[in-house]
Chains A and B, each alone.
Chain A
Amino acid sequence: LAKTTQPISMDSYEGQEVNITCSHNNIATNDYITWYQQFPSQGPRFIIQGYKTKVTNEVASLFIPADRKSSTLSLPRVSLSDTAVYYCLVGDIGYKLIFGSGTRLLVRP
């Protein structure tokens, strides 16, 4: 499973767009990129998953360049309730989720 590298923490302000980048230089051909969000004392929650180019859903966008060695989770117009840990996971389609260390996002008023 490919190792991922994310910033340990990020700060933002309400209403701003936040972009969290994840590096995965050893991504394999079959690997997908998935992001989860976790609030304190809660289980992680699926945000978005993609293989290449751009994926968008109602809460986020995921940008994946052609070489797939990195990906960027984009959260539009964050609010205080988006303060959480965001995990980038890379792996082939299968049962195992291997979580990296995650990015702690703090949204300030």
Chain B
Amino acid sequence: DTEVTQTPKHLVMGMTNKKSLKCEQHMGHRAMYWYKQKAKKPPELMFVYSYEKLSINESVPSRFSPECPNSSLLNLHLHALQPEDSALYLCASSQAGEGDEQYFGPGTRLTVT
């Protein structure tokens, strides 16, 4: 199984809502990532978890809160988002992180109204 799954595929939320994005992989990878991608722009790294510990936070606003409950799961909790946060949110994983190929999920298309 070389798949990274993400749910939901689409999400529409208001600025006062709280929602969560979920990512799962069963490849035994020990590094997991969240990226944000705006239309016609490259993906931008948000967070990196290595062995279930947060190792990189690219100065992301606190309204985005990542969580790694175990080595297969990665969540992104969303609260009080702004319309400019509307984007495709991509999850990825890699073996141990150090230079390894990253496997990306299909993403969650988020719209903030």
In the bound complex, how far is the Cα of B83 from the Cα of A88, in angstroms?
Answer: 30
Q: Name the B residues within 8 Å of A100 (CB-CB).
A: 42
Are B101 and A49 closer than 8 Å at their CB atoms?
A: yes
In the bound complex, how far is the Cα of B69 from the Cα of A71, in angstroms?
Answer: 40
- Other than the given A43-B4, A43-B106, A98-B45, 11 more pairs (CB < 8 A) read A43-B91, A43-B104, A43-B105, A44-B104, A45-B104, A46-B102, A93-B99, A97-B33, A97-B43, A101-B41, A102-B42
- List the 6 closest A-B pairs by CB distance, nearest first: A43-B104, A93-B99, A99-B42, A46-B101, A95-B97, A95-B48
* 27 pairs, A vs B, C-beta closer than 8 Å: A41-B106, A42-B107, A43-B4, A43-B92, A43-B104, A43-B106, A43-B107, A44-B43, A44-B102, A44-B104, A46-B102, A49-B101, A92-B99, A94-B98, A95-B31, A95-B50, A95-B55, A96-B45, A96-B48, A97-B43, A98-B45, A99-B42, A99-B43, A99-B44, A100-B42, A101-B41, A102-B42
